[in-house]
Amino acid sequence: MIRNFEEIRSLVLSRDRVRRLGVIGSHETHALEAAAHAMKDGIVIPVLYGKKEETIEKWEALGTGLPVPEIVDCQTDEEIAECAIRAAHDGKVDCLLKGKVYTQVFLRAVLNKEWGLRTGRQLSHVLLMQVGAYHKMLFLSDAGMVPYPDLKTKKDLILNASDICHKLGYEQPKVAVLASVERVNPKMPETVDAHALKEMNQNGEITGCVVEGPISFDLAISSESVQIKEYESPVAGDADILIVPEITTGNVLFKALSYFSDMTMGGIIVGARVPISMISRASSGTDKYNSILVAAAVSGNDTE
């Protein structure tokens, strides 16, 4: 059970090999700042893909005293994305950080059939949240990439999030497929999907985790609500992974927690050959650093 980002940091620092981080669009101050912080802490070795002169200028303006990392000089978004993704495809970098590059250009490169990072599984976004009122980390999907997942896609969301948990030491992460009620209602499609996902888990189609659904948010995370409502489930009050019905629910949930509670977070895209750090442009430097931390933690061989 991971309780906070400091434990993830300790896991990364316990390894013999420092991961190489490709920064896609390195001529962006916030991305460089997060990469420099992670470099200084010994978390990653950055490789910068972007406009060289502008990148050097911004790096030196940070005033870290660190040497300028390796820079691959690229001028257009298309060139930046291709160079970085090809490097990840060829094993030259272990994880990626999205900087100043258009998302659609970046994703098109990730999905390139010749030199992209396809695995056959749906790409999805997993947000790790350290919430002061909860006793461990929460993994939320999908709040940043897949707008309206169908049943097959929701299955991939669960598998992707579970893979991240496994790489962080969880044996059987507890998955709550969220809805507003606990009973299946044909007029509420999210409850039908949630029940189907639970059945897939029970019949061995979804493995490596325990799935409960449909289940409300309060029952997923509050032992007090579980006792009051007399609800029985191994997931209830102790969820690791929250699967939301669609992107709006996930977006509102994490932003509400971010603004109204003591929360820090880090987000990555999974389902590709390497993890990709990507988080809201409005997120703090700490949240961007945490995203790099998570990507480094789940990249490469677990035995390293």
Q: What is the pLDDT of residues 91-106, one digit of tens each?
A: 999 999 998 899 899 9
pLDDT for res 237: 97
Looking at residue 304, its pLDDT comes to 40
Average pLDDT in the 218-238 region? 97
pLDDT of the residue at 77? 95
Distances (CA, A) of 235 to 76, 87, 120, 212, 214: 47, 40, 29, 6, 11
Fold that domain 1-118+272-304 belongs to in CATH: Rossmann fold (3.40.50)
pLDDT at 303 over 90: no
Domains of the chain: which residue ranges?
1-118+272-304, 124-264
pTM here is 0.93
In this prediction, residue 280 carries a pLDDT of 67
Tokens of 104: 């659609």
pLDDT at 302 over 90: no
Which of 177, 191, 197 lies closest to 244 in space, CA to CA?
A: 177
Mean pLDDT of 190-211: 98
CA distances from 289 to 174, 183, 253 (A): 26, 40, 21
Q: Given this chain, do its domains 1-118+272-304 and 124-264 carry the same CATH topology? A: no
State the Cα–Cα distance between residues 85 and 259, nearest whole angstrom: 34
Cα dihedral across residues 165, 166, 168, 171: positive or negative? positive
Q: pLDDT higher for 147 or 287? A: 147
Out of 44-53, 221-230, 273-282, pick the least confident: 273-282
Nearest CA to 26 out of 70, 87, 86 is that of 70
So what's the pLDDT on residue 283? Answer: 65
For the 124-264 domain, the top CATH level (class) is alpha beta
> What pLDDT was estimated at residue 285?
73
Sign of the CA dihedral with 257 first, then 258, 259, and 262 last: positive
d(CA 259, CA 262): 8
CA distances 61 to 55, 282, 283, Å, are 10, 21, 21
Look at residue 297 and give its three-state secondary structure.
Answer: helix
